[in-house]
Every structure is written in structure tokens, then in C-alpha cells.
Amino acid sequence: MKLTDSRDIRAEPGIVWQAILDPEVLKACIPGCQSMVGSVADGYEAVVKQKVGPVSATFTGLVHLTDIVAPKSIRISGEGKGGVAGFAKGGANVTLEPIPEGTRLSYDVEASVGGKIAQLGSRIIDGFAKKMADDFFTRFQDAVESPEEEPEPTVAEGEADSGADAPKKGWFKRLIG
Amino acid sequence: MPKDHGIGAASKRREDVRFLTGKGVYTDDMNIAGQAHAVMVRSNVAHGRIVSVGTAAAEGMPGVLAVFTGEDFAAVGGNPAGWLINSRDGTPMREPKRPVLAHGKVRHVGDAYAAVIAETYQQAKDAAQAIADASVIEELAAVVNMADAVANASNRVHDEIPDNLCFDWGWIEDNRAKVDEAIKNAPHVTTLELVNNRLVPNAMEPRASIGEYSPGTGDYKLTTTSQNPHLTRLLVAAFVMGIPENKLQVVAPDVGGGFGSKIYHYGEEALVLAAAKKLARPVRWTAERSESFLTDAHGRDHVTKIELASDKEGNFIAFRTETLANVGAYLSNFSTATPTFLHGTLMSGPYKVPNVYVNVKTVFTNTAPVDAYRGAGRPEATYSLERVIDKMCRELGLDPFEVRRKNLLTPDQFPYQSPVGLMYDTGNYQATLDKVMEMADVTGFEARRAASAAKGRLRGMGLSTWIEACGIAPSNLVGVLGSRVGLYDAATVRVNATGNLSVMVGAHSHGQGHETVFAQIVADKLGVPESSVEIVHGDTARIPFGMGSYGSRSLAVCGTAMDKALDKIIAKGKKIAAHMLEAAEGDITFGDGKFSVAGTDKAKTFGEIAFSAYVPHNYPLETLEPGLEETAFYDPANFTYPAGAYICEVEVDEGTGKVDVVAFHCADDFGNIMNPMIVEGQVHGGVGQGIGQALLEFTTYDENGQLLTGSYMDYPMPRAEDVPFYNVDYSCQTPCTHNPLGVKGCGEAGAIGSPPAVVNAVIDALQRGGHTHVTHIDMPVSPSRVWTAMNA
């Protein structure tokens, strides 16, 4: 499956770029990510726990950052093996462009699954992948935008429902700011 | 009054007593002392290079007894294709080895590349997952779409086959130029491109196998879910494992449905035998439902362009087809015969059309193997013909009933040599057409349509007039055409000393009801009660030989072998009776269970003759052996040709596109009927499967070769609410001219004749409802496809 979208982030491209290269950010933003170790150059080993329809699994695999053109574009790709559940793999081409409000982050995501997860969960896989991408970029946006620029808190809490483990808004901005 | 026993009686199925009370004994029901459990390690990717198999991961895991990989079977044979097809240019088909376990590459999701044997199923399952997790398989781009497979020679399912083609077959090649010319000069040509959708067989009982080995004698035993145990023995013993046939017993006990998928030999059967020998323990394997979806041979999967040339009055001049037929990743045993000699030879249908040419390219893809499934080639032929005829009728504004009638062969034309190689022996196609039109009350359709319209629903009526060829034969002809096996059958009739009978037959019953019907025939012929006849099948150690059950052949071929063995029994009985009655053999007649001296009241009952044969105190021992047991082999002179006419009526919900089959009428000619209840049941089942194909079932692989319809959540089987009450008639009977029972076969008819009737009805409903731009919708005619077509 493929999906394409963009988000306007209220932070400068430089900050957004730094965040993308930070494994702690990736760990916090990948829904269900339990660990993430490694480096930009060697890639990260990640453990992600997810449930797709009737199939629950812990995926272990590698995340690679390639085609790095700072601070404009990068490809984030990964493949995870989920044991009896099968496997999932995919990648996102991310581009950043400055806009008056901060940064426009555009992404093209392609993802595929194999094994039992495809045999049993295919009806819901497109919706699942879209939700994964939405969750990821929502968390990412939350991490890099300043908390004082936060919109209505009720909305934020509603969004936070999509991932109970989502970190507090603006934590990355505060970290480097 | 209907008969209450013997031929033609609706005797209740004796096997149902055990099936319906849960007392059937299937392979998985058998527990054998000391048994170990096998679990296969299957590929998650459709196409990949095996870099390493992580067998070390299973070592030391609890209960693990042995691990097998492709290396262990590199030296033994492959699972062969049963039919050699030559391409149009005369070159033989490409025949890649199909190993017991994948070696070098995996070629479809579910392709097994290792196997674990452990003390318990759970232990084997855990170890298999550990091996899968530790194995490195480099995923390659998958070959999924047939057109792409042929166009892109760089991406190969088998490295040695550059264009992914198994063969490019023309039938009949000598007709090609004449057919091309006829189409070029025809007043009208109707063209239709269609897909015959891939189906998963979904037998209720998944495949299962138990291997046993006796170190003391060197004997093997394979208990397995097979439609034909002798064929499995031949394939496992002679082709794959190199076991002498007299050292391998194959038992196919109660088998819960096959529909073709259990004709074939599968690697798991060889695996459990090899493991049993290695461990000197019984080794068992049973497929999970997911494994059935991934690895049972699928059915159909043709993409066809058909052209029908006619005059403006609808008289057929020529049919020409181009088909891509998917064989999947490997050649299953009859995968090359199904799209060719079971398909191309039927492409003139029941019609007097002079020019027919069929081209079939079979294509390797990274999907499960495809092979014969209920109907096998004949549903594909019938669907193409009946859909394009329906389209022609609309294009020329002709009545589909009258177009059929004027093109159907007439009774005076038999025997009829078809332009695609078959010799139809007998038939009366007008009779079944008349019958079905009467059954369906065709003249009352307009009133029914108006009633449906008043409910806001579009009603349509679809017709299909079909023919098939059953009981594939004779062996010397099929040998010339490329078959690597004979297609006869055999039966042994053993009359026991007390007069009851054990009849060992080569046909295998996996739901058909042979135990009942064959006993009816024996009882009728010998004048004994049905209850005194026991039908024995499914065990190579107990039956003489047999090619099993497929292609609606059991009654026409094996039933005839049994009939001939009964003739021998009667002939010997006459000799015994002549001695006992002190009469000349020529004066002995047999009838009503008695051997009589013609013109006298002197007689001996069948039981008295049987007793004398085994207690030969008053017996012609100088000239006649004691005992009363006879075997006959029978190789038919020709196919049989069942035919019929089906009418389907549907209602379409214009708002949702949902199709409801509201009536289905079948007028079939199966020749003589042995048990009308079983015939009706076979037609019900076949039509149900046909409606499933037409409306619901669609096997879907994504572009990476992942099976997306891998469970009943996504693969819809027809349920009770999806099918109507069937209206079935078999009173039009032209008995087969070349077998003594006059039977033709009824097992596949429903699945052959019904899909085009359903789709024709849907198109009719949409056309009558004003959606005149809709000329075709591919199966399954799902709500989404119908809605999309209406709103295009």
C-alpha cells in the first residue's frame, strides 16, 4: 500500500531535521516501539509491538536512514520480522521545506506485509498502515512543536488516545531549546 | 412406484450413518503408538533465495527428534507432472523439478523448505518457528500477474525458464488458418475478454498424512487424504522416494471431500515416510486451515479472450480463444492436462460449429500450484462459450433460447466428430433445453420481473447449455496425447462362502456415496439384498488396482469394471450350477438370484452356488477351480458426454449491487440413473460451488505474491442463504452407448453449467434495468463490482 501526505510543523527545518536523526525521537514516535538502539550510520535495531486485527506480534528488525540530504530530505526504511505473524516492511521518503509557519513535512510511505498478517489481516491493513503513519507524524509533530503554541488541549487529549504511550508535547523542543 | 432397492432406487446413503453420527475415521482421527509429529517450515515470501536454513535453532529444543531440509531430498526424485504437453512448435513443455522440500529457492508463500519432527505437535510447531526466525531468505521480486510474467523475462519463477512459460499449446493447430479465415470473413464477430477466477478448493477435511515404517520387513505404510491411493503409491514410490511398490501400502480412509485437490501427491506424504524410516516411528502431519489455503492445489485461474464469429441470424461459424492459464509455482500432477485436453477439447460445446481453434499458454507464477478442481477445464470452456454466446445475442438482438436451439447438435447427428477432437456418442440437447424452459416457466418471466421491479429490484434470467467429457479415456489415445498414466479402473468381486459379497473397487469415495450406489448395482445384478454387499475401497493392500475418483469417472469406469467382474461371477456360477443341476451349461439361465435350467423348475439359489464354490463336495473339480472371486479391469472406449441446460434467475439490488439467486433450474442428461437421490445431491453440491465461484469466491494475491484471502474472514464460501432451493431434473436420458450401465457421470455437472447461467442472469437484470452499457462483469460478481459497473 502507498500513502502520501504532508504536515505543517510549527518549528524551523533545522529543528525538525535534528529530530528526525535522533533515535529517541524515532523510538518515541513509532507506535508500539519498545526499544531502538544504533546509529544513523549503521541503522537502528528496533523492537515494535503491534496488533493488526486478529494478529498480535512483536516485530524485531532494522531501521535504516538513507538518501540523507540535510536538512531537506531523507528516506526512513525498515523491515520487521514478527515470528508466527509474518513480517512487515516499508519506507517513507520525507522532505522538508521551509514555510512561514515553520516547516512543511511531506512524506510518501509505502508498506507491505507478508505471512499470516497478510492472510488474516488484509482487509484492515490499509487502514492500519494509515493509522501507523498518522500516529507517527502526529507524535513527531507534537515532539518538535513548542508547547505554548499548542492548540486547544481537548483536541490534544483526543489525539493522545491513539497511543497511550505518546510522550508529552514539545519534549524534544524543550530538550534542545 | 419407484424402486425400493437396486439400480434406480433412492437407497439411503449407508455411509451417512457413520458420517452423521461422528463415527467416521479420518486420517487425523488415527492415533498410533509411538507417533511423532511433523510441522513444515513454510516460506513467508512468494519468491526468495534460500541463503541459509536455521536448523541449528531447533537443536536442543524440547522434544525435537529430527529436522529435514531440501538438502535431505536433493538426491531423490521430484513430484512429476502426469501429462506431457507439447508446444505449438513441437517442443516439449518445460518441467522444473518439484522437490519434497524447496531447495535453492522458495517459489510461493507456503512453500515448505524445512520440516521438524518432534514428540508433540506443540514442540514441533515451536521448533519450526525457531527455524523460520533463524533462516535467511533473500526476498526476490515476485512474479504474480500472468501477463507480466510472460512480458518480463528477467524475473523468473524458475531460473532456467526464461519467459515463465510452461508451454504454448494450439488445438487443433492444423485448424488455425481455416479458423482465422472464417473469422475474417464472418458477417459478425463478438469478442469478450474474461477472467475465470482462481478458487481455493476448501475441502472440509484438511490434508493429513501418517507415515509408518517397519524396520523388520522394510515395509512402509502411508495413510493419507487421497482421492486415489494407487496413484499416490505410484508417485511416491516410483517417482519420488524410490520405494518398490510392493513395499508401500497406501491407505486413504474416510476422506472429507477433495474436489480435485486430493488427487495429487504432495511433498508432505514423502516427508512423513522419510521421517518414519529415519526415526523408526510413525510420523504424522495434519494441515492447519491456513496451510490448506496456501498449499492445496487451487483451481481455474484463466484469463481468456474469446471470439465468436456468426452470421446475423446467430448461426455460429467459428470460435477462437487465447488463454493464459496459471499453473502456479510448480506443476501439480494434472496441471498440464487441465487447461489443455480437459478444456480445449470442449471448446465446441454442444454446438454444430465447424471452426474452432484454442490457444493456451500456461504460465509459472509465484503462487500456489493450480490444478483440476471440480469440473477441471470444462467449467472454463463452458463459461467462455456461454458468456460470449450471450453477448452475441445482445449485440444482434437475438433470443438466447432460439440461438441455442438452432446451433445445438440434433439427435440424428450422433455419433458426432467435433472439430476439437472428441467423438460425442449420444445426446439430445433440445430435450434438456425444452425441459429446463418448461421447469423455469420462461413465458412467465415477465410477470416475475414486474413483481421484482415492484419491490425495487432488477430481475434477470440467464441460460447455459453445457456439455462435458467424463471418464477420461481410452488409455491408448490419452497415451498418444501425452498422458503418462493409464486411465482404466479395476474391481474384484469376492463372493464369500455364505453368499455375502466383498467388492473391492479402485474408485475412491470421499463423499460421493459409492458404498451405497455400487452395492445397489451388485444387488440388482445378482439378485441379492443390498445389505449383503460390502464395498471396499481406499487401500492398496485390499483392492486390486485403481485410478481413483476424479473427472466424474467412478461409475462410468470403475462401475463398469465391477459390472464386468459380476459377469464373470455369473459365468462361473453357471458352470457350477450346470454341474449341480446335471444340465448343460448352455441351458442355465440366471435371474432373480437363481441359476435355473431353462424350461424347468430346477434351480439353485445364488447362495447355494456360492456355498458349493467354497465347500466343493459336489463340484466339477476336474475342470473348474473352487472359490468364487473375479477381477476385471476396464479401459473405456471413449469419454462419456453428460450435457444439460441450466436457467438461473437473479434479483439485483440497484442500491447496493447485491445479487440474490432466486431460482435455479437444471435439466441434465446423465444417461441412466443409478440412485436419483445421490444424483440430485451431486447436482446441488456442484451448482452450489458454481454459485460460489460466480458470486463470492476470489483468491487474491497482492503484488508481492502474498495471499490476502487466506482465511474464511476474507474468502467467502457459499452459505445456505446464498443459494436457492434447486429445481433438478434428470429425466432426459440418452444412455451412454459404450458402457454396459449406460451411465455418464454427474459429479461435476453443476459446477460446470452454473457459473455462466448466473453471470448471464446478472447481465440480463442490469440490461433490462436500463444499464445497457454493462456487457460483462468478471466473477465473482460481487456487490462492489455490480455497483461499480452500474455506475460506471
Nearest CB partner across the interface for A115, out of B44, B711, B713: B44
Q: Are B481 and B341 in contact (CB under 8 A)?
A: yes
pLDDT score recorded for residue A148: 54
**Percent of chain A clearing pLDDT 70 (strictly above):** 86
For A112, the closest chain B residue by CA position comes to B704
> Alpha-carbon distance B478 to B475, whole Å?
5
Interchain CB distance below 8 Å, A112 and B708: no
> Alpha-carbon distance A100 to B737, whole Å?
89
| In-domain check, residue B106 | no
Q: What is the pLDDT of residues B540-553, one digit of tens each?
A: 999 999 999 999 99
- Residue B204: how many other CB atoms lie within 10 Å: 9
Task: Report chain B residues whose CB lies below 8 A from the CB of A115.
Answer: 44, 109, 706
Interchain CB distance below 8 Å, A123 and B702: no
| In-domain check, residue B178 | no
Q: Which residue is associated with the grid cell 439490488?
A: B653
Residue A57 has pLDDT above 90, yes or no: no
Interchain CB distance below 8 Å, B109 and A115: yes
Task: Report chain B residues whose CB lies below 8 A from the CB of A118.
Answer: 109, 702, 706-708, 710
> Alpha-carbon distance B373 to B48, whole Å?
28
pLDDT score recorded for residue B695: 98
In this prediction, residues B615-622 reach a mean pLDDT of 96
Domain boundaries along the sequence of chain A = 2-176
For A85, the closest chain B residue by CA position comes to B44
The residue range of the domain holding B503 is: 488-634
Q: Are B205 and B255 in contact (CB under 8 A)?
A: yes
Q: Are A60 and A45 in contact (CB under 8 A)?
A: yes
Task: Report chain A residues whose CB lies below 8 A from the CB of B290.
Answer: 116, 119
Q: What is the pLDDT of residues B2-23, one digit of tens each?
A: 788 899 999 999 999 999 999 9
Which triple of cell numbers denotes residue B117?
519432527
Interchain CB distance below 8 Å, A87 and B710: no
Q: What is the pLDDT of residues B194-248, one digit of tens each?
A: 999 999 999 999 999 999 999 999 999 999 999 999 999 999 999 999 999 999 9
Q: What is the pLDDT of residues B562-574, one digit of tens each?
A: 999 999 999 999 9
Nearest to B310 by CA among B397, B392, B391: B392
| In-domain check, residue B507 | yes
Residue B677 has pLDDT above 60, yes or no: yes
DSSP-based three-state secondary structure for B653:
strand
Among A150-154, B683-687, B734-738, whose mean pLDDT is lowest?
Answer: A150-154
DSSP-based three-state secondary structure for B59:
coil
Which triple of cell numbers denotes residue A39?
546509529
Q: Are B282 and B34 in contact (CB under 8 A)?
A: yes
Q: What is the DSSP letter of A68?
A: E
Peptide bond into B673 cis (omega under 30): no
Q: What is the DSSP letter of B557?
A: I
Residue B34 has pLDDT above 80, yes or no: yes
Residues 6+ apart with CB under 8 A from B326: B146, B198, B301, B302, B362, B363, B365, B367, B370
Q: Are B38 and B116 in contact (CB under 8 A)?
A: yes
> Alpha-carbon distance B463 to B440, whole Å?
10
Residue A152 has pLDDT above 50, yes or no: no
Residue B660 has pLDDT above 50, yes or no: yes
Residues paired with B214 in a beta bridge = B219
Residue positions counted in chain A:
177
Residue B409 has pLDDT above 90, yes or no: yes
Q: What region, left, alpha or beta, does residue A105 occupy, with left being phi > 0 and alpha being psi -120 to 50 degrees?
A: beta
Task: Report chain A residues whose CB lies below 8 A from the CB of B45.
Answer: 114
- To test the contact with chain A by mutation, choose from B139, B706, B711, B712 the residue with the greatest count of A C-beta atoms within 10 A, namely B706
| In-domain check, residue B559 | yes
Domains contained in chain B, number: 1
| More confident call, A152 vs B622 | B622
Q: What is the pLDDT of residues B278-304, one digit of tens each?
A: 999 999 999 999 999 999 999 999 999
Chain A positions with Cβ closer than 8 Å to B: 54, 81, 83-84, 86-87, 112-116, 118-120, 122-123
**CA dist B746 → A34, B89, B298, B493 (Å):** 60, 37, 22, 25
Work out the mean pLDDT of chain A and round it to a whole number: 83
For A61, the closest chain B residue by CA position comes to B133
Work out the mean pLDDT of chain B and round it to a whole number: 97
Task: Report chain B residues whose CB lies below 8 A from the CB of A86.
Answer: 44
Nearest CB partner across the interface for A81, out of B133, B708, B711: B133
Q: What region, left, alpha or beta, does residue B11 occupy, with left being phi > 0 and alpha being psi -120 to 50 degrees?
A: beta
Find the angle CA(A167)-CA(A172)-CA(A174) to the nearest 5 degrees.
110
In this prediction, residues B71-89 reach a mean pLDDT of 95
> Alpha-carbon distance B666 to B339, whole Å?
26
In this prediction, residues B450-456 reach a mean pLDDT of 97
CATH assignment at residue B503: 3.30.365.10
For helices A153-160 and A116-144, the axis angle rounded to 10 degrees is: 150
Q: What is the pLDDT of residues A66-77, one digit of tens each?
A: 999 989 999 999
| More confident call, A111 vs B466 | B466
Q: What is the pLDDT of residues B299-358, one digit of tens each?
A: 999 999 999 999 999 999 999 999 999 999 999 999 999 999 999 999 999 999 999 999
Task: Report chain B residues whose CB lies below 8 A from the CB of A119.
Answer: 290, 293-294, 706-711
**Class of domain A2-176 as given by CATH:** alpha beta
| More confident call, A176 vs B766 | B766
Strand extents, DSSP E, B334-435: 355-364, 416-417, 423-424
Nearest CB partner across the interface for A122, out of B129, B290, B708: B708
Interchain CB distance below 8 Å, B129 and A83: yes
In this prediction, residues B25-39 reach a mean pLDDT of 98
User: pLDDT band at residue B609, thresholds of 50, 70 and 90?
Assistant: very high
In this prediction, residues A26-31 reach a mean pLDDT of 90
